[in-house]
Structure 1
């Protein structure tokens, strides 16, 4: 494939306006998932659960693949797999000294099950590929409403436990000493995370869900330490990546996930650069203040 054909596959904006009009529900769905991912992602970073997101996504993929094999609703299958993974991690991870070992056991098991179910599936290959890398589907009004309601329930539940969950995330030992139900909050958040992963897989696929639930929050933490501003920037970055990825994917023949993940990665790189520049300026400022003036140095 020559360069012109490659670029045409990635960016092709012929009849673009007509395509945008056809997928408005998908764009709204992407905005809803961006909002959800930005909010949940802040606690994923605070609680150091980036690896857990990947583990949940693998079992979510297995559930979706199982549903696809038996002709059931893929979203419900994905949701079932995510909830099972969240419960396992929430119950086992609390007792385990190293929760990453538990996640490391669950991940290959879920991925292996998913590959098994997809190998047995004899339907369209595009359906298999879409579970892994995401795809733009014609989201109907009813589907959009169901997605919005599910996301709203998760966000309302997250808002309800926001303050104690923040306390338990920052200093779990002190929170437990003050009567905060740390274990119950941990399990509750894992369930909310599982539902968020299941909903996000519709856009970016099982293997790249990290770009929606981790990268925006990680980018926000690079440029500010203000808790409120971190949440706002995380939501802004997540919506930009999802909606922007959908709009770019309409102009090419590639799946949506490369566009979403690339935008998310570029946002992170820019924020990391800004954070590094600020850190160097702050360090130089401290060095300048610590260095005595020449006259003072001569007196000493």
Structure 2
């Protein structure tokens, strides 16, 4: 039984031939990892991890509606994500308001998405893929859309990197120095909405946090450098995405468990490394005091 279970999880027969078939998925995973890693830095700095989940729920609802009404999963996902992002950006300027809005949006988005999927009479795989991702769903048109959207997100982040970092670290001082708080917050939420919408296409709406939150959280465990953290976060996200796709290629289960497991293992490793570094630093301080 154990052998059969491992065979379902890991199957590498004809692996080279299968690898060619998911070339688009590997490229999409790498680009998505890079984008998610950069966005995740600001998600963590602004304490918006659950905002990502709220946006993903509305993205799921939009994608399910797009599937039901035939307007396209990508179009519906973008509409849902941007709607949630704008609502949170406009109405949730303060943490208490933001948390309330997120708590309202999450069940509404999930319920609406479930309703649309229940009414949809097409392939069951399409329904399941919205929740858990699809490894072979990245055709050339979808890849082009993903590359364009990720390019917009990355360029947008680079344009506002310094003021957004300042605003994320100390909003009151940044606002006193003339940084436009509300427009910049809304702009970031739009970028976040775009990143979530494209992530849903690969890892599914329920597991977006593994790309937009976990890698950045892991990077912050081993460094506080404003240069090193984005680089590590992007690297971790790319490893989780590409590694997850390659592990899932021969198996019979969706891609998402592999991506989330790799992402979680990276986080645990970084947490352990951070703990060890703090322990050694404390030992050195104690040795100096004794000396």
Range into which the TM-score falls when normalised by the shorter chain: over 0.9
Q: Separation in 1 of the partners of 2:262 and 2:101?
A: 31
Q: What pairs with 1:9-158 in structure 2 (closer than 5 Å)?
A: 9-94=8-93, 97-158=96-157
Q: Separation in 1 of the partners of 2:100 and 2:148?
A: 34
Q: Separation in 2 of the partners of 1:62 and 1:251?
A: 30
What is the root-mean-square deviation of aligned Cα atoms in Å?
Answer: 1.1
Structure 1 segments (4+ residues) deviating >4 Å: none
Q: For residue 273 of structure 1, what is the aligned residue in structure 2?
A: 272
Cα shift at 1:3: 0.8
Q: Separation in 1 of the partners of 2:202 and 2:42?
A: 21
Q: Name the larger-Rg structure.
A: 1
Q: Does 1:284 align with 2:263?
A: no
Q: Separation in 1 of the partners of 2:104 and 2:190?
A: 19
SS at match of 1:179: coil
Q: For residue 177 of structure 2, what is the aligned residue in structure 1?
A: 178
SS at match of 1:43: helix
Tell me if the contact between 2:38 and 2:234 (Cα under 8 Å) persists in the aligned partners.
Answer: yes
Post-superposition Cα deviations, 1:42-97, rounded to whole Å, max 9, x if no partner, equal: 01011111010000000000000001111221011001000000011011101563
Cα shift at 1:105: 1.0
Q: For residue 227 of structure 1, what is the aligned residue in structure 2?
A: 226
Q: Does 1:258 align with 2:257?
A: yes
Q: Separation in 1 of the partners of 2:96 and 2:240?
A: 35
Tell me if the contact between 1:23 and 1:138 (Cα under 8 Å) persists in the aligned partners.
Answer: no
Q: Separation in 2 of the partners of 1:171 and 1:81?
A: 30
Matched length: 291
SS at match of 1:94: coil
**Worse-matched range after superposition: 10-19 or 133-142:** 133-142
The normalised TM-score by structure 1 is 0.95
**Worse-matched range after superposition: 142-151 or 106-115:** 142-151
Q: Separation in 1 of the partners of 2:138 and 2:33?
A: 16
Q: Separation in 2 of the partners of 1:138 and 1:232?
A: 28
Post-superposition Cα deviations, 1:247-281, rounded to whole Å, max 9, x if no partner, equal: 11101000000000000000000000000000111
Cα shift at 1:282: 1.1
Tell me if the contact between 1:25 and 1:138 (Cα under 8 Å) persists in the aligned partners.
Answer: no
The normalised TM-score by structure 2 is 0.98
Mind listing any 5+ residue stretches in structure 2 that lack a counterpart?
none
Q: Separation in 1 of the partners of 2:174 and 2:33?
A: 30
Q: Separation in 2 of the partners of 1:153 and 1:162?
A: 14
Q: For residue 245 of structure 1, what is the aligned residue in structure 2?
A: 244
Q: Separation in 2 of the partners of 1:143 and 1:256?
A: 18
